[in-house]
Chain A
Amino acid sequence: MTGKIDAPLDILKILKYILPTTSSYAELLCLGFAIYFLSKDKASFWRISIWYLVVVMVTEVVGRYCAVTYRTNLFVYNIYTLFEISYVTYGFHTFIKQYADIKKWIIAIYGIILLIYITFTSIYGINVYNAFTISIMSVIFVIYGLLYFYLLLKDENYIDLKFHPAFWWVGGALIFYFGSTLANFFDEIIQQKFLGKYNTRSIIYTTLNFFLYGLWVYSFICRARQRK
Protein backbone atom coordinates (compact mmCIF):
# COMPACT_ATOMS: atom_id res chain seq x y z
CA MET A 1 0.00 0.00 0.00
CA THR A 2 2.88 2.36 0.61
CA GLY A 3 6.21 1.56 -0.92
CA LYS A 4 6.75 2.34 -4.52
CA ILE A 5 10.35 1.45 -5.10
CA ASP A 6 11.47 2.03 -8.59
CA ALA A 7 15.14 2.37 -7.79
CA PRO A 8 18.20 0.80 -9.43
CA LEU A 9 19.34 -2.61 -8.17
CA ASP A 10 21.28 -2.46 -4.93
CA ILE A 11 22.72 -5.68 -3.47
CA LEU A 12 22.24 -4.56 0.13
CA LYS A 13 18.51 -4.33 -0.38
CA ILE A 14 18.27 -8.06 -1.09
CA LEU A 15 18.93 -8.70 2.58
CA LYS A 16 16.54 -6.03 3.65
CA TYR A 17 13.44 -7.03 1.76
CA ILE A 18 12.20 -9.47 4.38
CA LEU A 19 12.53 -6.99 7.24
CA PRO A 20 9.70 -4.53 7.70
CA THR A 21 10.30 -0.93 6.69
CA THR A 22 9.19 2.12 8.69
CA SER A 23 5.80 2.23 7.05
CA SER A 24 5.13 -1.49 7.18
CA TYR A 25 5.71 -1.72 10.93
CA ALA A 26 2.18 -0.37 11.37
CA GLU A 27 0.82 -3.02 8.99
CA LEU A 28 2.69 -5.82 10.76
CA LEU A 29 1.43 -4.67 14.16
CA CYS A 30 -2.09 -4.39 12.78
CA LEU A 31 -1.91 -7.95 11.46
CA GLY A 32 -0.70 -9.17 14.85
CA PHE A 33 -3.57 -7.45 16.65
CA ALA A 34 -6.06 -8.71 14.04
CA ILE A 35 -4.97 -12.32 14.56
CA TYR A 36 -5.13 -11.93 18.33
CA PHE A 37 -8.49 -10.13 18.52
CA LEU A 38 -10.38 -11.39 15.48
CA SER A 39 -9.39 -15.01 14.94
CA LYS A 40 -12.36 -16.18 17.05
CA ASP A 41 -14.81 -13.82 15.39
CA LYS A 42 -17.75 -15.36 13.57
CA ALA A 43 -18.63 -12.37 11.39
CA SER A 44 -17.26 -12.81 7.89
CA PHE A 45 -16.05 -9.21 7.53
CA TRP A 46 -13.79 -9.38 10.57
CA ARG A 47 -12.39 -12.76 9.55
CA ILE A 48 -11.68 -11.43 6.07
CA SER A 49 -9.86 -8.48 7.71
CA ILE A 50 -7.17 -10.89 8.95
CA TRP A 51 -6.67 -12.31 5.45
CA TYR A 52 -6.62 -8.85 3.95
CA LEU A 53 -3.84 -7.80 6.32
CA VAL A 54 -1.95 -10.98 5.39
CA VAL A 55 -2.26 -9.89 1.75
CA VAL A 56 -0.95 -6.43 2.74
CA MET A 57 2.11 -7.96 4.40
CA VAL A 58 2.74 -10.37 1.53
CA THR A 59 2.47 -7.43 -0.87
CA GLU A 60 5.10 -5.51 1.09
CA VAL A 61 7.53 -8.44 1.13
CA VAL A 62 6.97 -9.42 -2.50
CA GLY A 63 7.11 -5.73 -3.44
CA ARG A 64 10.53 -5.34 -1.94
CA TYR A 65 11.66 -8.63 -3.42
CA CYS A 66 10.52 -7.61 -6.90
CA ALA A 67 12.09 -4.20 -6.53
CA VAL A 68 15.50 -5.74 -6.09
CA THR A 69 14.96 -8.65 -8.48
CA TYR A 70 13.06 -7.15 -11.41
CA ARG A 71 13.85 -3.48 -10.79
CA THR A 72 10.15 -2.71 -10.62
CA ASN A 73 7.45 -3.69 -8.20
CA LEU A 74 4.63 -1.56 -9.53
CA PHE A 75 2.72 -4.59 -10.83
CA VAL A 76 2.68 -6.03 -7.28
CA TYR A 77 1.01 -2.89 -5.96
CA ASN A 78 -1.31 -2.77 -8.94
CA ILE A 79 -2.50 -6.32 -8.19
CA TYR A 80 -2.76 -5.44 -4.50
CA THR A 81 -5.06 -2.54 -5.45
CA LEU A 82 -7.70 -5.11 -6.51
CA PHE A 83 -7.69 -6.60 -3.01
CA GLU A 84 -7.83 -3.14 -1.48
CA ILE A 85 -10.85 -2.08 -3.58
CA SER A 86 -12.69 -5.32 -2.74
CA TYR A 87 -11.96 -5.37 0.98
CA VAL A 88 -12.70 -1.71 1.71
CA THR A 89 -15.87 -1.79 -0.44
CA TYR A 90 -17.02 -4.87 1.47
CA GLY A 91 -16.25 -3.12 4.77
CA PHE A 92 -18.29 -0.05 3.88
CA HIS A 93 -21.10 -2.25 2.64
CA THR A 94 -21.12 -4.18 5.93
CA PHE A 95 -21.40 -1.00 8.00
CA ILE A 96 -23.66 1.08 5.78
CA LYS A 97 -26.22 -1.71 5.37
CA GLN A 98 -27.11 -1.36 9.04
CA TYR A 99 -28.65 2.02 8.21
CA ALA A 100 -29.53 1.99 4.51
CA ASP A 101 -30.08 -0.53 1.76
CA ILE A 102 -27.69 0.59 -0.98
CA LYS A 103 -26.29 -2.82 -1.89
CA LYS A 104 -27.13 -2.37 -5.59
CA TRP A 105 -25.37 1.00 -5.70
CA ILE A 106 -22.27 -0.36 -3.99
CA ILE A 107 -22.08 -3.30 -6.39
CA ALA A 108 -22.57 -1.01 -9.39
CA ILE A 109 -19.85 1.40 -8.19
CA TYR A 110 -17.55 -1.54 -7.45
CA GLY A 111 -18.10 -2.73 -11.04
CA ILE A 112 -17.32 0.72 -12.43
CA ILE A 113 -14.05 0.96 -10.44
CA LEU A 114 -13.01 -2.47 -11.71
CA LEU A 115 -13.86 -1.39 -15.26
CA ILE A 116 -11.69 1.72 -14.88
CA TYR A 117 -8.91 -0.45 -13.46
CA ILE A 118 -9.07 -2.93 -16.35
CA THR A 119 -9.24 -0.16 -18.96
CA PHE A 120 -6.23 1.63 -17.46
CA THR A 121 -4.23 -1.61 -17.22
CA SER A 122 -5.07 -2.65 -20.78
CA ILE A 123 -3.94 0.75 -22.10
CA TYR A 124 -0.81 1.35 -20.03
CA GLY A 125 0.09 -2.18 -18.95
CA ILE A 126 0.48 -3.67 -15.47
CA ASN A 127 3.85 -2.03 -14.87
CA VAL A 128 2.51 1.52 -14.74
CA TYR A 129 1.27 2.66 -11.37
CA ASN A 130 -2.53 2.84 -11.60
CA ALA A 131 -2.82 6.23 -9.86
CA PHE A 132 -5.98 7.10 -11.78
CA THR A 133 -8.00 4.18 -10.42
CA ILE A 134 -6.59 4.78 -6.95
CA SER A 135 -7.67 8.44 -7.07
CA ILE A 136 -11.19 7.49 -8.14
CA MET A 137 -11.29 4.75 -5.50
CA SER A 138 -10.16 7.17 -2.78
CA VAL A 139 -12.88 9.68 -3.67
CA ILE A 140 -15.54 6.92 -3.64
CA PHE A 141 -14.34 5.66 -0.26
CA VAL A 142 -14.39 9.18 1.16
CA ILE A 143 -18.01 9.49 -0.03
CA TYR A 144 -18.86 6.12 1.58
CA GLY A 145 -17.22 7.25 4.82
CA LEU A 146 -19.11 10.54 4.88
CA LEU A 147 -22.33 8.73 4.00
CA TYR A 148 -21.80 6.33 6.88
CA PHE A 149 -21.26 9.20 9.33
CA TYR A 150 -24.28 11.02 7.96
CA LEU A 151 -26.46 7.94 8.49
CA LEU A 152 -24.95 7.41 11.93
CA LEU A 153 -25.80 10.97 12.98
CA LYS A 154 -29.27 10.75 11.47
CA ASP A 155 -30.07 7.52 13.25
CA GLU A 156 -32.19 8.06 16.34
CA ASN A 157 -30.67 5.28 18.40
CA TYR A 158 -27.77 6.19 20.61
CA ILE A 159 -24.58 4.16 20.28
CA ASP A 160 -21.54 4.53 22.51
CA LEU A 161 -19.02 5.45 19.78
CA LYS A 162 -16.08 5.09 22.12
CA PHE A 163 -16.37 1.31 21.76
CA HIS A 164 -18.12 1.05 18.42
CA PRO A 165 -15.80 -0.88 16.02
CA ALA A 166 -17.54 0.29 12.83
CA PHE A 167 -17.06 3.94 13.77
CA TRP A 168 -13.29 3.56 14.25
CA TRP A 169 -12.84 1.37 11.17
CA VAL A 170 -14.64 3.90 8.98
CA GLY A 171 -12.81 6.74 10.77
CA GLY A 172 -9.43 5.18 9.92
CA ALA A 173 -10.42 4.60 6.30
CA LEU A 174 -11.80 8.13 5.95
CA ILE A 175 -8.64 9.74 7.35
CA PHE A 176 -6.45 7.61 5.07
CA TYR A 177 -8.36 8.10 1.84
CA PHE A 178 -9.20 11.75 2.45
CA GLY A 179 -5.66 12.55 3.55
CA SER A 180 -4.14 10.77 0.56
CA THR A 181 -6.29 12.62 -1.98
CA LEU A 182 -3.66 15.31 -2.62
CA ALA A 183 -0.85 12.75 -2.67
CA ASN A 184 -2.79 10.79 -5.31
CA PHE A 185 -3.46 13.81 -7.49
CA PHE A 186 0.13 15.02 -7.37
CA ASP A 187 1.65 11.54 -7.38
CA GLU A 188 4.17 12.31 -10.12
CA ILE A 189 5.44 15.48 -8.43
CA ILE A 190 5.79 14.30 -4.86
CA GLN A 191 7.62 11.12 -5.79
CA GLN A 192 10.61 13.15 -6.87
CA LYS A 193 10.53 15.69 -4.06
CA PHE A 194 12.43 15.31 -0.86
CA LEU A 195 12.23 16.99 2.50
CA GLY A 196 15.72 16.63 3.84
CA LYS A 197 16.55 13.01 3.12
CA TYR A 198 12.94 11.85 3.27
CA ASN A 199 10.73 11.37 0.25
CA THR A 200 7.57 13.51 0.57
CA ARG A 201 5.39 10.64 -0.58
CA SER A 202 6.70 8.34 2.11
CA ILE A 203 6.27 11.03 4.79
CA ILE A 204 2.61 11.46 3.83
CA TYR A 205 1.89 7.75 3.53
CA THR A 206 3.76 6.76 6.70
CA THR A 207 1.68 9.30 8.64
CA LEU A 208 -1.55 8.17 6.99
CA ASN A 209 -0.71 4.50 7.55
CA PHE A 210 -0.09 5.27 11.18
CA PHE A 211 -3.63 6.66 11.49
CA LEU A 212 -5.26 3.97 9.32
CA TYR A 213 -3.76 0.97 11.04
CA GLY A 214 -3.83 2.61 14.47
CA LEU A 215 -7.58 3.18 14.25
CA TRP A 216 -8.18 -0.24 12.70
CA VAL A 217 -6.30 -1.89 15.57
CA TYR A 218 -8.51 0.04 17.96
CA SER A 219 -11.61 -1.06 16.05
CA PHE A 220 -10.44 -4.70 16.34
CA ILE A 221 -10.09 -4.22 20.09
CA CYS A 222 -13.60 -2.72 20.22
CA ARG A 223 -14.91 -5.62 18.18
CA ALA A 224 -13.37 -8.19 20.55
CA ARG A 225 -14.91 -6.25 23.45
CA GLN A 226 -18.28 -6.13 21.69
CA ARG A 227 -18.18 -9.88 21.13
CA LYS A 228 -17.87 -10.49 24.88
Chain B
Amino acid sequence: MSLILLASFVFLLMPIFLLLYIRSYNRHKKNHVLEKQNMQQKFESEMLQTRVEVQDQTMQSIATELHDNVGQLLSLTTLTLNSINLNDEGKAKKKIDNSLALVNKSIKELRELAKLLHGEQLVENGIGHAIDQEINWLNKAGTYELKINNLLIDLQIASPNKDLIILRLLQEIINNIIKHAQATHIQLDSYLTDNVLHLRVVENGVGFNPEEIKLKKTGMGLNSIFKRIEMINGKLTLNSASGEGTSISIEVPYP
Protein backbone atom coordinates (compact mmCIF):
# COMPACT_ATOMS: atom_id res chain seq x y z
CA MET B 1 0.00 0.00 0.00
CA SER B 2 2.70 2.43 1.00
CA LEU B 3 4.31 1.49 -2.32
CA ILE B 4 1.41 3.04 -4.25
CA LEU B 5 1.57 6.11 -2.04
CA LEU B 6 5.31 6.35 -2.63
CA ALA B 7 4.88 5.86 -6.37
CA SER B 8 2.14 8.52 -6.44
CA PHE B 9 4.49 10.80 -4.55
CA VAL B 10 7.15 10.25 -7.21
CA PHE B 11 4.55 10.88 -9.92
CA LEU B 12 3.70 14.11 -8.14
CA LEU B 13 7.33 15.15 -7.87
CA MET B 14 8.09 14.62 -11.55
CA PRO B 15 5.85 17.39 -12.93
CA ILE B 16 6.99 19.69 -10.12
CA PHE B 17 10.59 19.19 -11.19
CA LEU B 18 9.49 19.66 -14.77
CA LEU B 19 8.01 23.05 -13.87
CA LEU B 20 11.20 24.01 -12.03
CA TYR B 21 13.27 22.92 -15.02
CA ILE B 22 11.14 24.96 -17.42
CA ARG B 23 11.49 28.01 -15.21
CA SER B 24 15.25 27.68 -15.06
CA TYR B 25 15.43 27.11 -18.82
CA ASN B 26 13.27 30.17 -19.30
CA ARG B 27 15.69 32.20 -17.22
CA HIS B 28 18.48 31.14 -19.57
CA LYS B 29 16.26 32.13 -22.45
CA LYS B 30 15.84 35.55 -20.85
CA ASN B 31 19.61 35.99 -20.58
CA HIS B 32 19.97 34.90 -24.18
CA VAL B 33 17.35 37.39 -25.35
CA LEU B 34 18.96 40.19 -23.32
CA GLU B 35 22.36 39.31 -24.76
CA LYS B 36 20.91 39.36 -28.25
CA GLN B 37 19.31 42.75 -27.61
CA ASN B 38 22.60 44.10 -26.28
CA MET B 39 24.46 42.83 -29.31
CA GLN B 40 21.85 44.33 -31.62
CA GLN B 41 22.11 47.66 -29.80
CA LYS B 42 25.88 47.54 -29.91
CA PHE B 43 25.78 46.72 -33.59
CA GLU B 44 23.38 49.55 -34.30
CA SER B 45 25.44 52.05 -32.34
CA GLU B 46 28.61 50.92 -34.14
CA MET B 47 26.80 51.19 -37.44
CA LEU B 48 25.70 54.70 -36.52
CA GLN B 49 29.23 55.58 -35.46
CA THR B 50 30.58 54.27 -38.74
CA ARG B 51 28.05 56.31 -40.67
CA VAL B 52 29.06 59.38 -38.72
CA GLU B 53 32.73 58.62 -39.38
CA VAL B 54 32.04 58.09 -43.05
CA GLN B 55 30.13 61.36 -43.19
CA ASP B 56 32.88 63.12 -41.30
CA GLN B 57 35.45 61.82 -43.72
CA THR B 58 33.35 62.96 -46.67
CA MET B 59 33.12 66.42 -45.12
CA GLN B 60 36.89 66.47 -44.67
CA SER B 61 37.43 65.48 -48.28
CA ILE B 62 35.08 68.24 -49.35
CA ALA B 63 36.84 70.78 -47.14
CA THR B 64 40.22 69.73 -48.53
CA GLU B 65 38.95 69.84 -52.10
CA LEU B 66 37.40 73.27 -51.55
CA HIS B 67 40.57 74.63 -50.02
CA ASP B 68 43.20 73.01 -52.23
CA ASN B 69 41.38 72.85 -55.51
CA VAL B 70 38.40 75.15 -55.96
CA GLY B 71 39.90 77.73 -53.59
CA GLN B 72 43.14 77.80 -55.58
CA LEU B 73 41.30 78.00 -58.90
CA LEU B 74 39.19 80.92 -57.73
CA SER B 75 42.22 82.71 -56.22
CA LEU B 76 43.99 82.31 -59.53
CA THR B 77 40.91 83.66 -61.30
CA THR B 78 40.87 86.69 -58.99
CA LEU B 79 44.58 87.27 -59.60
CA THR B 80 44.14 86.98 -63.36
CA LEU B 81 41.15 89.33 -63.43
CA ASN B 82 42.95 91.81 -61.19
CA SER B 83 45.93 91.88 -63.50
CA ILE B 84 43.88 92.78 -66.58
CA ASN B 85 44.95 95.95 -68.24
CA LEU B 86 41.95 97.23 -70.23
CA ASN B 87 44.19 99.30 -72.49
CA ASP B 88 45.95 96.23 -73.78
CA GLU B 89 42.97 94.52 -75.44
CA GLY B 90 44.85 91.53 -76.83
CA LYS B 91 46.29 90.52 -73.45
CA ALA B 92 43.05 91.40 -71.66
CA LYS B 93 41.07 89.04 -73.91
CA LYS B 94 43.55 86.24 -73.30
CA LYS B 95 43.36 86.80 -69.54
CA ILE B 96 39.54 86.90 -69.59
CA ASP B 97 39.49 83.66 -71.55
CA ASN B 98 41.86 82.14 -69.03
CA SER B 99 39.65 83.32 -66.18
CA LEU B 100 36.60 81.85 -67.89
CA ALA B 101 38.39 78.51 -68.24
CA LEU B 102 39.33 78.64 -64.57
CA VAL B 103 35.77 79.44 -63.51
CA ASN B 104 34.45 76.61 -65.68
CA LYS B 105 36.94 74.25 -64.11
CA SER B 106 35.81 75.42 -60.66
CA ILE B 107 32.19 74.72 -61.57
CA LYS B 108 33.17 71.25 -62.74
CA GLU B 109 35.05 70.59 -59.52
CA LEU B 110 32.08 71.81 -57.46
CA ARG B 111 29.79 69.42 -59.34
CA GLU B 112 32.08 66.52 -58.48
CA LEU B 113 32.03 67.60 -54.86
CA ALA B 114 28.24 67.74 -54.87
CA LYS B 115 28.26 64.12 -56.03
CA LEU B 116 30.28 63.12 -52.99
CA LEU B 117 27.60 64.61 -50.78
CA HIS B 118 24.94 62.73 -52.72
CA GLY B 119 26.19 59.33 -51.71
CA GLU B 120 23.04 58.43 -49.77
CA GLN B 121 20.80 59.39 -52.67
CA LEU B 122 22.99 57.39 -55.01
CA VAL B 123 22.50 54.16 -53.11
CA GLU B 124 18.75 54.62 -53.05
CA ASN B 125 18.67 53.21 -56.56
CA GLY B 126 20.69 50.21 -55.51
CA ILE B 127 24.36 49.52 -55.03
CA GLY B 128 24.85 48.49 -58.69
CA HIS B 129 23.58 51.83 -59.88
CA ALA B 130 25.78 53.71 -57.38
CA ILE B 131 28.87 51.79 -58.54
CA ASP B 132 27.92 52.61 -62.12
CA GLN B 133 27.79 56.34 -61.29
CA GLU B 134 31.23 56.15 -59.74
CA ILE B 135 32.59 54.46 -62.84
CA ASN B 136 30.97 57.04 -65.14
CA TRP B 137 32.61 59.78 -63.18
CA LEU B 138 35.97 58.02 -63.42
CA ASN B 139 35.42 57.41 -67.13
CA LYS B 140 34.74 61.09 -67.79
CA ALA B 141 38.08 62.00 -66.28
CA GLY B 142 39.57 60.02 -69.17
CA THR B 143 42.83 59.39 -67.34
CA TYR B 144 42.37 55.64 -67.08
CA GLU B 145 41.79 52.71 -69.31
CA LEU B 146 38.81 51.01 -67.67
CA LYS B 147 37.63 47.44 -67.84
CA ILE B 148 34.30 47.09 -66.06
CA ASN B 149 32.16 44.08 -65.28
CA ASN B 150 29.34 45.35 -63.00
CA LEU B 151 26.69 42.64 -62.61
CA LEU B 152 24.94 44.36 -59.71
CA ILE B 153 22.95 46.80 -61.87
CA ASP B 154 19.80 44.68 -62.00
CA LEU B 155 20.01 43.54 -58.40
CA GLN B 156 16.52 43.22 -56.90
CA ILE B 157 17.59 43.13 -53.26
CA ALA B 158 19.07 45.96 -51.22
CA SER B 159 20.58 46.65 -47.84
CA PRO B 160 20.75 50.45 -47.41
CA ASN B 161 23.19 50.44 -44.48
CA LYS B 162 25.61 48.09 -46.19
CA ASP B 163 25.17 49.81 -49.56
CA LEU B 164 26.38 53.14 -48.25
CA ILE B 165 29.39 51.59 -46.55
CA ILE B 166 30.28 49.57 -49.66
CA LEU B 167 29.96 52.67 -51.84
CA ARG B 168 32.15 54.72 -49.50
CA LEU B 169 34.69 51.89 -49.51
CA LEU B 170 34.77 51.96 -53.29
CA GLN B 171 35.10 55.74 -53.28
CA GLU B 172 37.97 55.47 -50.80
CA ILE B 173 39.68 52.85 -52.96
CA ILE B 174 39.26 54.96 -56.11
CA ASN B 175 40.50 58.08 -54.27
CA ASN B 176 43.58 56.15 -53.15
CA ILE B 177 44.20 55.04 -56.74
CA ILE B 178 43.88 58.60 -58.01
CA LYS B 179 46.05 60.06 -55.27
CA HIS B 180 48.78 57.47 -54.93
CA ALA B 181 48.73 54.67 -57.48
CA GLN B 182 49.74 56.42 -60.73
CA ALA B 183 47.89 53.66 -62.52
CA THR B 184 46.88 53.65 -66.19
CA HIS B 185 44.59 50.67 -66.14
CA ILE B 186 41.77 49.88 -63.70
CA GLN B 187 39.66 46.73 -63.71
CA LEU B 188 36.47 46.47 -61.64
CA ASP B 189 34.31 43.38 -61.17
CA SER B 190 31.19 43.24 -59.03
CA TYR B 191 28.68 40.41 -58.70
CA LEU B 192 26.52 38.51 -56.23
CA THR B 193 26.68 34.75 -55.64
CA ASP B 194 25.12 32.72 -52.83
CA ASN B 195 24.16 35.82 -50.86
CA VAL B 196 27.71 37.15 -50.93
CA LEU B 197 28.51 40.38 -52.71
CA HIS B 198 31.90 40.42 -54.42
CA LEU B 199 33.74 43.56 -55.40
CA ARG B 200 37.19 43.43 -56.95
CA VAL B 201 39.35 46.37 -58.03
CA VAL B 202 42.67 45.73 -59.79
CA GLU B 203 45.05 48.42 -61.03
CA ASN B 204 48.54 48.48 -62.53
CA GLY B 205 49.95 51.34 -60.45
CA VAL B 206 53.11 51.68 -58.41
CA GLY B 207 51.89 49.32 -55.65
CA PHE B 208 52.97 49.38 -52.02
CA ASN B 209 53.81 47.18 -49.08
CA PRO B 210 50.52 46.67 -47.19
CA GLU B 211 52.22 45.69 -43.91
CA GLU B 212 54.22 48.90 -43.87
CA ILE B 213 51.16 51.05 -44.50
CA LYS B 214 49.18 49.22 -41.80
CA LEU B 215 51.93 49.78 -39.24
CA LYS B 216 52.14 53.47 -40.04
CA LYS B 217 48.46 53.93 -39.22
CA THR B 218 48.48 57.23 -41.03
CA GLY B 219 45.34 58.89 -42.35
CA MET B 220 41.97 57.40 -42.89
CA GLY B 221 43.01 55.13 -45.76
CA LEU B 222 43.67 51.47 -45.27
CA ASN B 223 42.87 51.08 -41.58
CA SER B 224 39.46 52.66 -41.91
CA ILE B 225 38.74 50.45 -44.92
CA PHE B 226 39.49 47.35 -42.84
CA LYS B 227 37.44 48.63 -39.92
CA ARG B 228 34.42 49.31 -42.08
CA ILE B 229 34.54 45.98 -43.81
CA GLU B 230 34.59 44.33 -40.37
CA MET B 231 31.46 46.27 -39.43
CA ILE B 232 29.43 44.63 -42.16
CA ASN B 233 30.93 41.18 -41.47
CA GLY B 234 32.82 41.33 -44.71
CA LYS B 235 36.25 40.12 -45.80
CA LEU B 236 38.89 42.14 -47.57
CA THR B 237 41.87 40.67 -49.40
CA LEU B 238 44.62 43.03 -50.44
CA ASN B 239 47.45 42.08 -52.74
CA SER B 240 50.13 44.56 -53.57
CA ALA B 241 53.84 44.86 -53.96
CA SER B 242 56.09 47.72 -55.00
CA GLY B 243 55.89 48.20 -58.76
CA GLU B 244 53.34 45.47 -59.35
CA GLY B 245 50.04 47.27 -58.93
CA THR B 246 47.33 46.50 -56.38
CA SER B 247 44.29 44.26 -56.25
CA ILE B 248 41.58 44.56 -53.60
CA SER B 249 38.82 41.94 -53.20
CA ILE B 250 35.84 42.52 -50.98
CA GLU B 251 33.30 39.88 -49.96
CA VAL B 252 30.23 40.96 -47.99
CA PRO B 253 27.27 38.80 -46.85
CA TYR B 254 24.34 40.35 -48.69
CA PRO B 255 21.64 41.58 -48.12
Query: Which A residues are closer than 8 A to B by beta carbons?
Result: 145, 149, 152-153, 158-162, 167, 171, 174-175, 178-183, 186, 189-190, 193, 195, 200, 203-204, 207-208, 211
**Contact among A162, A175, A186, A193 for B12, CB-based, below 8 A:** A175
Query: Which B residues are closer than 8 A to A by beta carbons?
Result: 1-2, 4-5, 7-8, 11-12, 14-16, 18-19, 22-23, 25-26, 29-30, 33
**Nearest residue in B to A207 (C-beta to C-beta)?**
B12
**Nearest residue in A to B1 (C-beta to C-beta)?**
A193
5 extra A-B contacts, CB within 8 A, seeds A160-B30, A175-B12, A211-B12: A153-B26, A161-B26, A178-B15, A183-B4, A204-B5
Q: How far is the CA of A166 from the CA of B5 in the complex (A)?
A: 29
Shortest Cβ gap from A198 to chain B (Å): 10
**Contact among B2, B4, B29 for A189, CB-based, below 8 A:** B4
Shortest Cβ gap from A190 to chain B (Å): 6
B residues in contact with A179, CB < 8 Å? 8, 11-12, 15
**Contact among A171, A186, A195, A207 for B19, CB-based, below 8 A:** A171
Q: How far is the CA of A167 from the CA of B20 in the complex (A)?
A: 12
A residues in contact with B25, CB < 8 Å? 153
Shortest Cβ gap from B79 to chain A (Å): 69
- Judge whether A182 and B11 touch: CB under 8 Å: yes
Q: How far is the CA of A186 from the CA of B4 in the complex (A)?
A: 8
- Judge whether A203 and B22 touch: CB under 8 Å: no
A residues in contact with B4, CB < 8 Å? 182-183, 186, 189-190, 193, 200
Given A175-B12, A178-B15, is A195 in contact with B2 using a C-beta cutoff of 8 Å?
Answer: yes
B residues in contact with A162, CB < 8 Å? 23
**Contact among B12, B16, B18, B33 for A158, CB-based, below 8 A:** B33
Shortest Cβ gap from B241 to chain A (Å): 50
**Nearest residue in B to A146 (C-beta to C-beta)?**
B18
B residues in contact with A160, CB < 8 Å? 30
B residues in contact with A174, CB < 8 Å? 15, 18-19
B residues in contact with A208, CB < 8 Å? 12
Q: Is the interface of B mostly helix, strand, loop or mixed?
A: helix
Given A183-B8, A195-B1, is A178 in contact with B26 using a C-beta cutoff of 8 Å?
Answer: no
What are 7 sample pairs from A and B whose C-beta atoms fall under 8 A apart? A153-B26, A158-B26, A171-B19, A174-B18, A178-B15, A182-B7, A204-B5
B residues in contact with A195, CB < 8 Å? 1-2, 5
Q: How far is the CA of A191 from the CA of B96 in the complex (A)?
A: 119
- Judge whether B29 and A200 touch: CB under 8 Å: no
Given A158-B26, A158-B30, A159-B26, is A175 in contact with B15 using a C-beta cutoff of 8 Å?
Answer: yes
B residues in contact with A189, CB < 8 Å? 4
**Contact among B5, B15, B30 for A171, CB-based, below 8 A:** B15
Q: How far is the CA of A152 from the CA of B25 in the complex (A)?
A: 11
- Judge whether B14 and A204 touch: CB under 8 Å: no
A residues in contact with B7, CB < 8 Å? 182
Q: How far is the CA of A158 from the CA of B30 in the complex (A)?
A: 6
- Judge whether B23 and A161 touch: CB under 8 Å: yes
Shortest Cβ gap from A145 to chain B (Å): 8
Q: How far is the CA of A189 from the CA of B7 in the complex (A)?
A: 14
Q: How far is the CA of A167 from the CA of B25 in the complex (A)?
A: 14
Shortest Cβ gap from B40 to chain A (Å): 14
**Nearest residue in B to A193 (C-beta to C-beta)?**
B1
Q: How far is the CA of A32 from the CA of B11 in the complex (A)?
A: 29
B residues in contact with A204, CB < 8 Å? 5, 8
Most buried by B among A174, A175, A190, A193: A175
- Judge whether B18 and A149 touch: CB under 8 Å: yes
**Nearest residue in B to A159 (C-beta to C-beta)?**
B26
B residues in contact with A167, CB < 8 Å? 22
- Judge whether A153 and B2 touch: CB under 8 Å: no
- Judge whether B1 and A200 touch: CB under 8 Å: yes
**Nearest residue in B to A142 (C-beta to C-beta)?**
B15
B residues in contact with A178, CB < 8 Å? 11-12, 14-15
Shortest Cβ gap from B3 to chain A (Å): 10
Most buried by B among A145, A162, A167, A179: A179
